[in-house]
Amino acid sequence: MTTRSTRPGPNATGPEDTDDLDVEEALALVKEANGPLGNGPAGSRSASDRPSGGAMPGGRPSVPSPESARPGTPPDARHQATPWPEARAAAERAARASSRAAGGRTPLSLPLDAALGHTLAAPLTALTDLPSFDTSAMDGWAVAGPGPWHVRDDGVLAGHAGYEPLTDGEAVRIATGARIPADTTAVLRTEHGRTDDKGHLHATRAVVPGQDIRPRGQECRAGDQLLPLGTLVTPAVLGLAAAAGYDTVTVVPRPRVDVLVLGDELLTEGLPHDGLIRDALGPMLPPWLRALGAEVVAVRRLGDDAEALYRAITASDADVIVTTGGTAAGPVDHVHPTLRRIGADLLVDGVKVRPGHPMLLARTKDHQHLVGLPGNPLAAVSGLLTLAEPLLRILAARPAPEPYALPLKDGAHGHPYDTRLVPVVLRDDRAVPLHYNGPAMLRGVAAADALAVVPPGGAQPGQETELLDLPWASGGIGVCFT
């Protein structure tokens, strides 16, 4: 599979999203050491941060009754769910508004071994020339002047200094990475030289002045910008930072997330039995959220207990709360009543997407949001990629993925009027839809490279379809789960 590039730009979905920022503007919301860079007053909220349509007095969308939310009814009779692209844009706006209201996010200085997966909050600038001295690019001999050369008895090793300058007609054994003696003309590779019985070195091919010497500053000079702010810290970035003289790097703090797993029917071990099922989301969500840039603070299993849910939400000081299940209107679906009880602003209440229609996004405090995921596993994945991904990406100041599409190898069944997310594998520049893609199934997505965004009505074989990469497919297992 070809890795998709990322770009420091918005995921605009229409004219109403003209306030989308690129990654540098998003990073302007991060506080520098001398004060905040955010340009909005604390607690400010623009009209564009509020959802449109279906609002109660006070700006909150009305919560649907069970009848109006019933799937399968005509669009004009159903609860006014948010179209899928608009829901993602609403999550981005919510994150920006939260950062502005907080006056920005204070950068962290982290040691290199703790910075993997964060985003640079300041450019990475070279602290020294690289290399910082002329070095040998090969094992062989450092030679001066034309040959043949008399070979010194000593040798030049990496990590040592103070060797005498060479004079014309002299050579000395040298190791890769060792400092070049003064007045060296070139490095003759081991395989390109031979010595005779008198200790003289002869070249077996022409010697070009400067060959196999890495001159000081070849890669960069002190003060050069190596990487811009907004760069994701990968293992290669850590290596570059170390080579450039860094012990720590300045990064954007990860958004802190509490996960609340709801449902009395969930088991944490053993086989399903007596109407009880294994909890798939408790093990799956924390690493997936880390892959999206979050720091998972706690995972709590609350069962179907309205008071426990109320206490957990009101006591949380995380940036984002993620709940699983309880977002519909059944007798033990406590998320909506709890949000009403605490006076939360409901920003997205249902999304026109399958699976995962009853997902939601709410502002629970000035600088805190709640993402309510459906309880079915694949529906929860849909909610992660629809609402949690854009919210966490903006909070973590990560660049937006470059949109891309591929033709489908096979047709994909669609919902009559909702977007559908279908697990696919990528083969020969085509997306192959996978089976086992029902709301409660994980077998398909466990084998997938991406999710295809199938428009209402479905997609035909060969039709170009937008794809959402899964984080481990594009970012690498080691990076995305850190």
Per-residue pLDDT tens, the chain, 482 aa: give them.
333 444 333 333 333 333 334 444 445 555 433 333 333 333 333 333 333 333 333 333 434 433 334 444 444 434 589 999 999 999 999 999 988 876 667 899 999 999 998 999 999 999 999 999 999 999 999 999 998 999 988 888 887 776 789 999 999 999 999 999 999 999 999 999 999 888 899 999 999 999 999 999 999 999 999 999 999 999 999 999 999 999 999 999 999 999 999 988 887 888 989 888 888 889 999 999 999 999 999 999 998 899 999 999 999 999 999 999 989 888 889 999 999 999 999 999 999 999 999 999 999 998 999 999 999 999 999 999 999 999 999 999 988 888 899 999 999 999 999 999 999 999 999 999 999 999 988 999 999 999 999 999 999 999 999 999 998 876 555 666 66
Q: Which of 406, 404, 424 is nearest to 462 (CA)?
A: 406
Judge contact between 22 and 470, C-beta under 8 A: no
- pLDDT for the residue 44: 35
Site of tokens 């959220």: 289
Judge contact between 373 and 281, C-beta under 8 A: yes
Judge contact between 27 and 121, C-beta under 8 A: yes
- Cβ atoms within 10 Å of 110's Cβ, excluding its own: 16
Question: What is the H or E stretch that residue 390 is in?
Answer: helix 389-395
Residues 6+ apart with CB under 8 A from 25: none
Token digits of residue 79: 């609860």
**How far from 289 is each of 108, 221, 445, CA to CA, in Å?**
20, 38, 16
Cα dihedral 104, 19, 95, 125, rounded to 10, equals -50
Query: DSSP assignment, residue 385?
Result: I
- φ/ψ of 3, rounded to 5, equals -70, 135
DSSP SS3 for 123? coil
pTM above 0.85, yes or no: no
How far, in Å, CA of 323 to CA of 266, rounded?
14
How far, in Å, CA of 51 to CA of 53, rounded?
7
Q: Which of 32, 13, 12 is nearest to 22 (CA)?
A: 12
- Cβ atoms within 10 Å of 418's Cβ, excluding its own: 22
Query: DSSP assignment, residue 396?
Result: T
**How far from 23 is each of 19, 183, 233, 475, CA to CA, in Å?**
13, 48, 15, 18
How far, in Å, CA of 365 to CA of 166, rounded?
71
Write b or e for each residue in 430-464: b if 16 or more Cβ atoms lie within 10 A of its Cβ, otherwise e.
Answer: ebbbbeebebebbebbeebbbbbbbbbebbeeebe
- φ/ψ of 236, rounded to 5, equals -65, -35
- Cβ atoms within 10 Å of 158's Cβ, excluding its own: 12
Judge contact between 104 and 30, C-beta under 8 A: yes
Judge contact between 23 and 230, C-beta under 8 A: yes
| Size of the chain, expressed as the number of residues it contains | 482
How far does Cα 479 stand from its chain's mean position?
9
**How far from 387 is each of 42, 276, 279, 414, CA to CA, in Å?**
24, 29, 22, 21
Query: DSSP assignment, residue 253?
Result: P
Judge contact between 414 and 391, C-beta under 8 A: no
Site of tokens 């002299």: 170
Among the residues of 45-188, which ranges form H helices? 84-101
Q: Enumerate the β-bridge partners of residue 6.
A: 401
Query: DSSP assignment, residue 174?
Result: E
How far, in Å, CA of 289 to CA of 475, rounded?
14
How far does Cα 125 stand from its chain's mean position?
23
Token digits of residue 245: 């003289």
Residues 6+ apart with CB under 8 A from 90: 51, 82, 347, 348, 361
How far, in Å, CA of 467 to CA of 2, rounded?
13
Residues 6+ apart with CB under 8 A from 473: 1, 448, 449, 450
